[in-house]
Structure 1
Amino acid sequence: MPTPPVHEPVRRVLILGGTTEARRLAAALATEPGVRVTTSLAGRVAAPRLPAGDVRIGGFGGPEGLARWLREHAVDALIDATHPFADTISFNAARAAATAHVPLLALRRPGWDAQPGDVWHPVRSLTEAAAVLPALGDRIFLTTGRMGLAHFAHLTDPWFLVRSVDAPEPPHPPRMTTLLDRGPFTLEGERELLHRHRIDVLVTKDSGAAATAPKLAAAREAGVPVVIVRRPPVPDGVPVAAEPDAAVDWVRTLLG
């Protein structure tokens, strides 16, 4: 009689996604033998770019809900590949992984470094960013996303150009024009945008994404100051990978 085939156990990986790196990681893990990958998206973008593998959309109900999901779905590895500023999700992931005894890795693209000619004003929060703006300029290019506009709503004198993927909702600055767009952006396009709108201050978060870095080069060339919000730290004790390939290696080593 022929020997029956031996079926290797399926190992399950959950990615907390929403970034380009998360999609690249999901595509790589989807080709790994014996690995089933699921990406969880928060659902804040109306038409997200869906990754390879299984996809779930929506929150878990805090760290307790995520820990329960990890146990119920027998997850072998959890990777936090959310935006560098999604600190609430990251800390919930750390608590849930510890509760469910699931190994956790943070996938974080490196932050930006100032170049010669940059005029940067580092701040720790959007609140601090709003506080320094009146002394820097009157025409603000705001690229921090639609979710944090309330921090700038009290600024009635400056004019804001707000770029986001989806239309923002109040509260937001009273003098504001919205530009709905999604990266990657080009240096030529960013130069033209700064010139056409007579931008004299750029506000951004240190997301570190190459797709959105041209605005920094355009600001450098034009002598436009940049208010840059520094990213929050990764939770203590969580290992960090800077590239999807390193995260794949971590999964391979972990799952054997």
Structure 2
Amino acid sequence: MAGAVLVTGSTAQQGAADRQRMVEEIDEMLASGGGTRGVARLAPHVRAAMTEVPRHEFVPPEYRSAAYSNSPLPIGHGQTISQPLIVGLMTELLQLAKTDKVLEVGTGSGYQTAILSVLAGEVYTIEIVPELGKMARANLERLGYRNVSTKIGDGYQGWAEHAPFNAIIVTAAPDHVPLPLIAQLRSDGRMVIPLGGFYQELTLLEKHADGTTTTTIIAPVRFVPLIRE
């Protein structure tokens, strides 16, 4: 079952309390404006997913004490696990349904992937750094996220054999929207992507039935650059 995690005892209770507090802090930041556009709080199903998924399982042991702080954390190889506020915001913008097929570009350690797994029907995720891709796959399998397919490769090119996707999320920043990803997005689909160089903007791209797209700038952000082969 997607999102199945077996935990017991006081550690599990403490983790649940930490996650609840983390989600409450996210909503407080969104409600105060937080530099975002159009999202005042997380939807109940997004709140539930973020309260369920154990973020501490997706960070290196030396950073687990900070797993539920509202900050990015290093995961090795020059990459980071995103700030929980950004994870929640990007997930909210996708407006996922349980029947949706989602593409994630930039698996990292698998935390965002796990959130998507709880909310969507199928998740396809690509990571270009082999060590991270293998770590994420092990994390997701160990924790029981079964509706996820992982791949090591160039996410700029998407995953054409499984397209079209209802939603696409990109967790590293290119300087433009990759054309293969637009082509693989279903009509009426949504893509959330950070765009830019040193200064970046989190952008929502919506694809219409006639193939045209509309973009909305959501917030200033800072992501690692999108690596290409």
TM-score by length of 2: 0.36
TM-score by length of 1: 0.33
Structure of larger gyration radius: 1
Using CA pairs under 8 Å that are at least 6 residues apart, name the structure with larger relative contact order, 1 or 2: 1
Structure with the higher helix share, 1 or 2: 2
